[in-house]
Amino acid sequence: MSSVVGTKGQVTIEKEIRDTLGVQPGWRAIQRMEGDRVVLEFLPPKHRRSLAGALEHATTVRIPAGQAFEDAVEQAWADSAREGEEAAG
């Protein structure tokens, strides 16, 4: 497969290659030289969807919201510090 370099230095990535790699519009193409060759790597864009609750079905642990969460964090730090003192002591 080959393509012609356009007037702005652009080339087209063949559809078969895009499909195999899963490359979609909006992905970033990272270019680097390796010897006398150009290597391209593709990175998908950062997602903009929240993953909150995505694994809710896989655990029974529930994280409280707001002040209850802050209190739980403080308690966890206190418990950890106490365990460290007991182990050292």
pLDDT at 47: 75
SS3 per-residue string spanning 59-70: CCCCCCCHHHHH
Whether 89 shows a pLDDT value over 70: the answer reads no
* pLDDT for 10 beyond 90: yes
pTM (whole model) above 0.85: no
pLDDT of residue 1: 77
Tens digit of each residue's pLDDT (9 = 90 or more) over 13-64: 999 999 999 999 999 999 999 999 999 999 988 877 777 777 888 888 777 7
Of 48, 44, 2, whose CA–CA distance to 25 is shortest? 44
What residue ranges do the domains of the chain occupy? 56-88
Backbone angles phi, psi at 37, to 5 degrees: -125, 155
